[in-house]
């Protein structure tokens, strides 16, 4: 991934729902094809923010997915060599976590002493999530490698000159009471909102205002229809047609991510894919880049 052109951008590192694709224990045709040919697999949803105006460039990740080792490797040229260990990459400048579910947090294990062994790496998350990490003894060897920094909801942080990130609370299934953040990233030219998980647009009163303000919205498209979950009533995600309807009057570029292995949008020849594309909506792809 060549991001070293002196610009500030966001890049997609993965687009699958938490458990990735192939999905553990799944015999569906798309997962079986990916089990047979790992080139077809999809990494769990994550993005990076890269500021290549600076030398060396600065790099931040949003979410620590179970696939983080592959995602860090995608960024190896951007991260550059580790100052003391030339056969390793430099650690990212920071990691912003959206919430405490598997696909967004479990990759922290790769940063601990058995893995990348980062040193005082900055990890930003809600106060509640940091508290939960500290309370769970199994994480304690890892936490010595991290600098945990609580984020104030709706308060912007200046990551670099003219580059801001703002944690925006959104409604999402919350078993541990730690909340879920979307992240709004504002560069000097453009802005992007990253919302990999949300229960429903209707439950988020500020949605229209915030989504209408950004240039790109990269949002939760876990399921296209209830058929994917045997008609279950509550799915803790808006279905894609609900998202299309919600965004119809919002002039923002809409990009879909966090797709479950069952989602027909993963098939680029599907009728569902034609429907969204006819409305000018895209499915995110690994390596896709948005200038900030």
23 binds Zn ion (CB under 5 A): yes
The one among 14, 66, 103, 107 contacting Zn ion by CB under 5 A = 103
Nearer to Zn ion, 45 or 216 (CB): 45
229 binds Zn ion (CB under 5 A): no
Residues whose CB is less than 8 angstroms from the CB of residue 186 and which lie 6 or more positions away in sequence, other chains included: 156, 163, 164, 165, 166, 292
220 binds Zn ion (CB under 5 A): no
The one among 15, 16, 19, 31 contacting Zn ion by CB under 5 A = 31
The one among 101, 110, 237, 273 contacting Zn ion by CB under 5 A = 101
Taking CB under 5 A as the binding criterion, the range among 15-23, 105-113, 160-168, 239-247 that sits at the site for Zn ion is 15-23
178 binds Zn ion (CB under 5 A): no
Determine contact, residues 105/64, Cβ cutoff 8 Å.
Answer: yes
In whole angstroms, what is the distance from residue 97 CA to residue 136 CA?
17
* Pairing state between β 180-186 and 191-195: antiparallel
Determine contact, residues 74/12, Cβ cutoff 8 Å.
Answer: no
In degrees rounded to 5, what are phi and psi of residue 213? Answer: -85, -20
How many residues sit in the footprint of Zn ion (CB under 5 A)? 9
In degrees rounded to 5, what are phi and psi of residue 137? Answer: -60, -30
Classify the phi-psi angles of 117: left when phi > 0, otherwise alpha if psi is within -120 to 50, otherwise beta. Answer: left
3-state class (DSSP) for residue 47: strand
18 binds Zn ion (CB under 5 A): yes
The one among 28, 147, 203, 245 contacting Zn ion by CB under 5 A = 28
112 to 151: interface string for Zn ion, x by CB under 5 A:
----------------------------------------
Taking CB under 5 A as the binding criterion, the range among 103-111, 116-124, 147-155, 281-289 that sits at the site for Zn ion is 103-111
202 binds Zn ion (CB under 5 A): no
In whole angstroms, what is the distance from residue 2 CA to residue 86 CA?
20
261 binds Zn ion (CB under 5 A): yes
33 binds Zn ion (CB under 5 A): no
3-state class (DSSP) for residue 68: helix
Nearer to Zn ion, 93 or 197 (CB): 197
Determine contact, residues 217/182, Cβ cutoff 8 Å.
Answer: no
Tell me which residues touch Zn ion (CB under 5 A): 18, 23, 26, 28, 31, 101, 103, 197, 261
């Amino acid at each position: 991934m060549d991001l070293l052109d002196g610009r500030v951008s966001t890049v997609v590192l993965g687009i699958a729902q938490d458990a990735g694709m192939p999905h553990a224990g799944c015999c569906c045709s798309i997962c079986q094809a990916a089990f047979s040919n790992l080139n077809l697999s999809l990494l769990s949803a994550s993005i990076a923010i890269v500021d290549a105006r600076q030398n060396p460039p600065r790099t931040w990740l949003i979410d620590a997915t179970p696939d983080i080792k592959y995602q860090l490797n995608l960024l190896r040229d951007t991260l550059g060599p580790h100052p003391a260990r030339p056969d390793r990459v430099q650690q990212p400048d920071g990691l912003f976590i959206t919430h405490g579910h598997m696909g967004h947090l479990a990759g922290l294990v790769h940063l601990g002493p058995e893995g990348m062994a980062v040193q005082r790496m900055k990890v930003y998350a809600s106060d509640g999530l940091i508290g939960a990490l500290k309370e769970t003894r199994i994480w304690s060897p890892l936490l010595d490698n991290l600098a945990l920094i609580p984020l104030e909801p709706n308060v912007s942080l200046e990551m670099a000159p003219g580059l801001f990130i703002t944690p925006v609370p959104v409604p999402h299934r919350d078993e541990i009471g730690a909340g879920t953040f979307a992240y709004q990233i504002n560069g000097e030219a453009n802005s992007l909102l990253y919302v990999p998980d949300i229960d429903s647009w209707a439950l988020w009163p500020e949605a229209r205002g915030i989504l209408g303000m950004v240039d790109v919205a990269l949002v939760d498209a876990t399921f296209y229809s209830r058929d994917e979950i045997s008609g279950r009533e509550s799915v803790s995600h808006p279905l894609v047609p609900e998202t299309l309807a919600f965004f119809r009057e919002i002039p923002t570029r809409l990009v879909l991510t966090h797709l479950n292995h069952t989602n027909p949008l993963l098939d680029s020849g599907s009728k569902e894919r034609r429907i969204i594309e006819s409305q000018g909506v895209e499915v995110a792809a690994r390596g896709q880049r948005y200038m900030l």
